[in-house]
Amino acid sequence: MQDSRRSIYAWALYDWANSAFATTVMAGFFPVFFSTYWAVGASAEQGTFYLGFANSLGSAIVAVMAPFLGAIADWGSYKKRLLAFFALLGSVMTASLYVLQLGNWPMAVLFYSLGVVGFSGANTFYDALLPFVASERKVDFVSSLGYSLGYIGGGLLFLVNVLMYLNPAWFGIADQQQAIKISFVIVGIWWVVFTLPLLFFVHEDKQKQSMRMTQAVHKGLVITISTIKSFRQLKTIGTFLIAYWLYIDGVDTIIRMAVNYGTSLHFPSESLIIALLITQFVAFPAALVYAKLGQRWGVKQALQVAIAAYTVIAILGYFMTKPLHFYLLAIIIGLFQGGIQALSRSYYTRLIPKERSAEFFGFFNMLGKFATIIGPVLMGLVTLLTGNVRNGIVSLVLLFALGFLLLRKVDENQGQREVGAFLQES
């Protein structure tokens, strides 16, 4: 039932659940612990390669599978069941990192990659449930509420885990290594517990001719191929997806390369952790406020403002010289990060057919996983050619400018007419 308070908060709590993995594991402890513990003895170059391989493997698997799995979920009404499967996979793999011993980088890569598969795979079906939870009147608020709870939940647990790491004796833990391992277990438990409300209280509309899994798999393959071909007809959706890919590539590049950039400027590691926490806690209220601004300005206009803000962020990054500047930039990023992510998701729901939401969100999430392909290469290439990392960060302005220009061409009314014609023919 749309706009039910219970289903809205149950749905949004899943962001609270899985953001623990995004903050404590992906952005926080795994990269550091992998290099110093599981890949001990390897060179810095080897450790970077192993870690990059782990990230790429998990994301690539989901990127390729997402549209196909989405089509299966739509035709078999399997969104909640597939979300539960991937969430359980991710949480179990994360908690299982506890048992891996010093130097066991192959299993660490495997477990982490499967954790990324679980995290990314479940997000496809989580996003696809949004049109069933919220009407068009409330979809911007509900999407922003999810991101907002994710930032505060992930930030709070990460803060606790950082305290465990810095002061293990306070928690009766032997040392810092043990603290990090216990953090992985806590993330796995947190993920499972806060997934339960969605499974119990979110209602998934059933297809009139709901199929068995084997039938849905065959239908999913046929529909995926058909949908790829249909983007020639659904030009508005295609234009938005390309625009989204460009500007979210810039956003994700800033998120993922911020620590590396700060390190290149010789900022202390404590400053990098503090900046990450600042972004998390600023983004919590900012995502909700930005949803209100989206209602006042219009969602498309609010997205354009956020893209313009990120353009300014990339330019300001060029001039950073001290940790204080890094903190100020973290605040600005927090003001817009949740807004641009949440409103992109809710705006997309206005362009696609609700009854095939998982299928189309499969492509949305596929592009999200393929994001940070252009950005890091662009940033690295410009840095290499000019010999200045500051030129690398400012080069991201190109992605934001192209994304902004393409988004201007998106006409929501035209998109709805294209979808109507598409559904009549299919």
Rounded CA-CA distance 73/220 in Å is 8
- Residue 105, pLDDT score: 84
- Residue 113, pLDDT score: 87
CB-based contact 118:91 (threshold 8 Å): yes
DSSP structural state of residue 373: S
- Residue 182, pLDDT score: 96
pLDDT band at 91 (very low <50, low <70, confident <90, very high): very high
Tens of pLDDT, residue by residue over 298-336, are 999 999 999 999 999 999 999 998 889 989 999 999 999
Which residue has 């609010």 as its token pair? Answer: 302
Does position 370 have pLDDT exceeding 70, yes or no? no
CB-based contact 20:191 (threshold 8 Å): yes
Interval 205-229 mean pLDDT:
64
Token pair of 145 as six digits? 């509420």
Does position 212 have pLDDT exceeding 70, yes or no? no
> What CATH number labels 1-202+210-225?
1.20.1250.20
Does position 62 have pLDDT exceeding 80, yes or no? no
Residues across the chain = 426
Token pair of 104 as six digits? 């066991």
Can you tell me whether residue 409 is helix, strand or coil?
coil
Token pair of 59 as six digits? 């994301």
- Residue 137, pLDDT score: 85
Does position 74 have pLDDT exceeding 70, yes or no? no
- Residue 76, pLDDT score: 58
CB-based contact 291:142 (threshold 8 Å): no
Does position 267 have pLDDT exceeding 60, yes or no? yes
Token pair of 201 as six digits? 């209280």
The pLDDT mean for the chain works out to 84
Tens of pLDDT, residue by residue over 372-424, are 667 767 777 887 788 887 888 898 999 999 999 999 999 989 988 888 887 77
Does position 53 have pLDDT exceeding 80, yes or no? no
For 387, list phi and psi in degrees, rounded to 5. Answer: 70, 20
DSSP structural state of residue 174: S
Q: Compute the half-sphere exposure of residue 31: CA atoms within 13 Å on the CB side of its CA.
A: 17
Residues of the chain with CATH 1.20.1250.20: 1-202+210-225, 231-426
Q: Which fold has domain 231-426?
A: Growth Hormone; Chain: A; (1.20.1250)
Rounded CA-CA distance 239/320 in Å is 35
Q: How many helices (H) and strands (E) does the chain have?
A: 19, 0
CB-based contact 357:128 (threshold 8 Å): yes
Rounded CA-CA distance 6/342 in Å is 20
User: What is the Cα gyration radius of the chain?
Assistant: 21
Rounded CA-CA distance 44/64 in Å is 30
CB-based contact 207:357 (threshold 8 Å): no
